[in-house]
Structure formats: C-alpha cells, structure tokens
Amino acid sequence: MSPDPRPRTVLDLPKWKAEGHRLVMLTCYDAAFARLLAEEVDILLVGDSLNQVIAGQETTLSATLDQMIYHSAAVRRGAPGALLFVDLPFLTYQVTVAEAIRNAGRVLQETGADGVKLEGGQVMAETVRALVDRGIPVMGHLGLTPQSVHALGGYRVQGRSPAAADRLVDDARALEEAGACATVLELLPTEVARRVTAALRIPTIGIGAGIGCDGQVLVLHDMLGLNEGFAPKFLKHYAELGASVRAAVRDYAGEVRAGRYPGPEHSFE
C-alpha cells in the first residue's frame, strides 16, 4: 500500500497548495466522529461552532477555553494521527499578546492539537507572529468572522465593495507575512475569494466562498443534515441523518412499548 499522501504537518499545507491538491476540512467535536472522519478528511477543526451545535447557544461568543480544550482532547484521542486545529474562543486572544500566547499554548499542551485558529486580519498580525515565533502554528479566518457577528450586522456575505475586497487581500497578506499556515475564507463572493487565494502562497479554505479556494470546510452536523432547519445557500447536505435518527428512535420506542425489545437474542439466560 502506498503511503498516505495527505498533509501530516503544517509544513505540508503550502506544498499542497503549490501542487494543486484541494484540502478537505470538517469540524469535529468528539472522539466517535473523529474516528469516522480521520480516514478521509485532511484537517479536523474543533470549531467554536460547538457552542451552537453542541451547547445550543445562539452564537459562538460564549464558548470558553475549557470547553474547547475538553472537546479537542476528545477529538485527538479519536484521531491521534490527524492534522488538528482548534479555534481560540472570543476574548482569549484579543486582549493582549501575552494572553494569546498563554491560552494558545495551553490548547496545544492539554489537547495535542497541531495548531490554533483565530479570527481577524491586519489587527491580529502581531499576535499571529508572536504565536508562530513561539512554535504555535496559526490558521487565520477572514470574511464573515462569527466572533464579530454583532459588529458585522449579522451573518451576511462580506467583501462586496471594491474597498472591502482590497482590505481582505491586505488582511490575508498580513496573516501570511506574520507566519499563518492557512486561512479560512467565510461568506465571500466567489471572485473575491479567488482573488485572495491567488495573492497567497498559503492555502485558503472556503466556507460559502465559492470554488476558487484551495480547500473547503463545513460544519459536520450541517453537512450530515443533523442541524435541521439550517439551510443557507452555500450548504449541501451529504446525508439526512436527522431524519434517520428520528426514524431509529421511533422504531426503538415502538418496540419497547410493544414488548418486542429486548428479545431472546438480546437477553442473558
């Protein structure tokens, strides 16, 4: 069997871009799913989206560092060989560079992750450089940045004006120059995302940013159809597990109530 060609360290990411390989990234929040995803997915991301998907909150803003560490450690146990990134939650990296170093270092120390992801462009370049200089790989995040959802006026497409598109290119270049190994581009017009991608040597990973990015990411529960009722334009359901779960639970409940489960084959005599 030939060796697995997928990226195994952050140093592989720009090589993949240069060679034209498209990166596959999915969010993941537990060991069970990590085991299922590790065979096919290039990068696992423990996103602060877990605050919405798992904890039922309206936004990502109340996610905590302890929460991220708990889930990230579980994912690492489920996929010990995967390339794993972890979102730094709101206010764990924006206040001071020293806090960002301490909190990002704690993530790597306590989870075994390969790097962290943070939101913001030029304003975060100093922080990105400080983390990278201390041996902490960083993935950026531009466009719709969920931790700034209130300042952005909601979950809406960014970069529509020429000036906004220019700022995104400048932000992406600033992240690259600061040492970021990749950046997520969220909710951007296709041509703007393509322009940002062309301006960088590091890969871009799109979500709602069209086909021109170097890779794609989706929230796992969204693409599996578990987040019922959530259907933005960019999302494709690759399964309808919400309906499957409902049907399975309905069958189980019916058999229990009818006295058909457990049967002799499930019982100890």
* Active-site option among 186, 191, 240, 255: 186
Owner of token pair 């006026």: 153
Is there a catalytic annotation at residue 110? Answer: no
* CB of 235 closer than 8 Å to CB of 223: yes
* CB of 79 closer than 8 Å to CB of 34: yes
* CB of 136 closer than 8 Å to CB of 105: yes
Region for residue 225 given its phi and psi (left: phi exceeds 0; alpha: psi -120 to 50; beta: otherwise): left
Give the residue from 34, 45, 37, 184 showing the smallest Cα distance to 107: 45
Q: What single string gives the DSSP state of each residue in 129-180?
A: HHHHHTT--EEEEEES-GGGTTTTTSS-----SHHHHHHHHHHHHHHHHHT-
* CB of 132 closer than 8 Å to CB of 118: no
Q: Which residues are known catalytic residues? A: 186
